A and B are shown apart, each in its own frame.
Chain A
Amino acid sequence: MARRGQGEASGVVRLSRLAEQYRAEVKEVLGPLVAAYYPALAAAEGPEYRKMLELSAKMALVGHACTEIAGETFDAGRRRLAILFGGCCFLADSFLDDFGEEAARAYLARFERLLASGWFEIRTPRERLFYVTVALMFTERDVLAPLLRQAILALHGAQAEDVMRRLEPWRMEGLARGRQLRLLRRSARNRSGHAILLLAIFLVQNVALSYLAGLFTAGGLIMFIDDHGDCHADLREGRVTYMNRLRDPERALRRIYAGHCRRIEASLAPGRGRTLLLEFLGHYYRSRLAKHRAQRAGGGAWDVYA
């Protein structure tokens, strides 16, 4: 037991040390891009820029774990790629979530066009930053690898489904509660499951199939945790998620967390990468339980982002 305790302590120390390192690296990678293409983002007083940096640091942590699980080194090139990926995800989500219904529909159509033809008409500084970030990622990786292309499309498809459910709630109204919950649960699982696979495939070429299921499970868990953290803010904004439809979401999340961790341990080989991933998930789980409680007391969606 003593040895297990020491191992856990060293895992927490490593997570904390890496988080600090990646927060600094994220500023070095994304800072100049924001300054060059969308300086208003960093100049604004709101928390959006800090949130983007924090999300990208988390992507670097998860990317580090994925790379080590695959038996590779998380070198400077991979760190940069994971950070760009985080910035790109943050901006893409903002297009879909922050500018109203009409803009969300328009962006879905424009992303479809980007994926089908490569064309993306740049209209705003935010879009310029997004596009440059995407282009830089594409220069560092063979984006025409079949699995990578499918992961991009799968992630886009899962996001589009989620957005359309929000914009057209009548789609769900005729369905029985059980069916609704199954659809919402699958949607949450797929959004983050495909995102983590995309990150892993971006970082490691010729990725082994044997560890993708464990990573997909980890991705799904991240979304359940995330949606629990935003439970009350989502409800205030009329956004339906699996977690905010449950009668006792905290109890459900406890069960989901334990089950997913068991599946991750069963499907990924023991090692530093798996330990880092589980430490990250544990930290994220605890922080989002706290965020949920803070939101219940009236806090906003962006009050906690670390």
Chain B
Amino acid sequence: MNGEGGRPLVEQAAIAIQGLCREQGRDGEQGRGGWNTLVRIDNRAEAEKAPYRFDAVRGVVHRRGCPALTEDARSASYGLWRITAEDGAKRCKRCRPMPETKEVEGSEARETKAGPDLLFGLVSILDQFGNVLKERGKDYRETEEGRKIGAELAHFYQALGRREKEVLDTLLTSLEMLIGRVREAEEQVKGERGKRER
């Protein structure tokens, strides 16, 4: 779907959103709408607290704080919230991490839902088209934090210019239509399958 100058609307929307950047204050200050985060990629703080660390140089999984994870390896390591018997990685012989049979505190699922970095802003709006976050967002909106962010999104929308609103509205309307069509098709398939099974 193309917009102004034949450019895809998704690209136009991305640029229009960043146009609001100028209206944001310096780092740490809030913009006029009361929001200052579009999307937070930086998850270093959460990753530090993850129960396991994967040393990408040697392919070894350690428990958090394992002294066998050297300073050199630490710079090439990744936080893991769970390990499985199927992941194929070697286990540290010193701290002997074991695959969990139940969800642990600070699990991957909890990490990805932490903080006001989930739904709204650049990724959420763009990702509506990829629908990756959309389903996740439904659950999130029901939480207290989700409702708070919902209010922030309303401010965000109000701060958009007329043209940007039009672009976003067009995109979101198209998305809704697309989802509607997919659902109709899905219902049809289910109906056909049900008839055959009967």
Check if B47 sits within 8 Å of A118, measured CB to CB: no
Check if B42 sits within 8 Å of A153, measured CB to CB: yes
Asked whether any CB of chain B lies closer than 8 Å to the CB of A154, the reply is yes
CB distance from B122 to the nearest CB of A (A): 5
| A153–B44 CA distance with the chains assembled, in angstroms | 8
CB distance from B142 to the nearest CB of A (A): 18
Q: Which of A144-152, A235-243, A283-291, A296-304 contacts B (4 or more CB under 8 A)?
A: A144-152
Check if B22 sits within 8 Å of A135, measured CB to CB: no
Partner of A117, one of B6, B10, B38: B38
Q: Which of A100-108, A163-171, A189-197, A251-259 contacts B (4 or more CB under 8 A)?
A: A189-197
Known interface pairs A116-B40, A120-B21. Does A212 touch B122 (Cβ–Cβ under 8 Å)? no
* B12-69 contacts to A (CB < 8 Å): 14-15, 18-19, 21-22, 24, 27, 36-44, 46-47, 50, 54-59, 61
Residue of B nearest to A152 (CB): B41
Partner of A119, one of B21, B59, B126, B132: B21
Asked whether any CB of chain A lies closer than 8 Å to the CB of B89, the reply is yes
Interface of A is mostly: helix
Known interface pairs A113-B27, A135-B14. Does A149 touch B41 (Cβ–Cβ under 8 Å)? yes
Asked whether any CB of chain B lies closer than 8 Å to the CB of A40, the reply is no
Q: Which of A90-98, A203-211, A221-229 contacts B (4 or more CB under 8 A)?
A: A203-211
- Total contacting residues, chain B, CB less than 8 A: 58
Asked whether any CB of chain B lies closer than 8 Å to the CB of A186, the reply is yes
Partner of A154, one of B11, B18, B36, B78: B78
Interfacial chain A residues near B11, Cβ < 8 Å: 36-37, 132, 135-136
Check if B75 sits within 8 Å of A145, measured CB to CB: no
Q: Which of B110-118, B146-154, B188-196 contacts A (4 or more CB under 8 A)?
A: B110-118
Interfacial chain A residues near B5, Cβ < 8 Å: 36
Check if B59 sits within 8 Å of A212, measured CB to CB: yes
CB distance from A33 to the nearest CB of B (A): 8
CB distance from A139 to the nearest CB of B (A): 5
Interfacial chain B residues near A190, Cβ < 8 Å: 75-76
Check if A147 sits within 8 Å of B27, measured CB to CB: no
Asked whether any CB of chain B lies closer than 8 Å to the CB of A140, the reply is yes
Interfacial chain A residues near B7, Cβ < 8 Å: 36
| A131–B19 CA distance with the chains assembled, in angstroms | 12
CB distance from B56 to the nearest CB of A (A): 4
Known interface pairs A116-B42, A118-B39. Does A143 touch B123 (Cβ–Cβ under 8 Å)? yes
Check if B14 sits within 8 Å of A131, measured CB to CB: yes
Asked whether any CB of chain B lies closer than 8 Å to the CB of A115, the reply is yes
Known interface pairs A122-B15, A131-B15, A149-B42. Does A209 touch B130 (Cβ–Cβ under 8 Å)? no
Check if B76 sits within 8 Å of A189, measured CB to CB: yes
Partner of A193, one of B50, B76, B79: B76
A-B contact pairs, 9 of them (CB 8 A): A36-B11, A116-B40, A116-B41, A138-B122, A139-B126, A139-B130, A208-B87, A209-B87, A216-B56
Instruction: Please provide the 9 A-B residue pairs with the shortest distance between their CB atoms, ordered closest to farther.
Output: A210-B88, A118-B38, A213-B59, A209-B89, A118-B39, A135-B14, A142-B132, A216-B56, A121-B21
Apart from A144-B133, A213-B58, A213-B89, what are 15 other A-B pairs with CB-CB below 8 Å? A36-B7, A115-B42, A116-B37, A117-B38, A118-B41, A118-B122, A121-B22, A141-B130, A142-B127, A143-B123, A150-B78, A150-B79, A208-B88, A212-B54, A213-B59
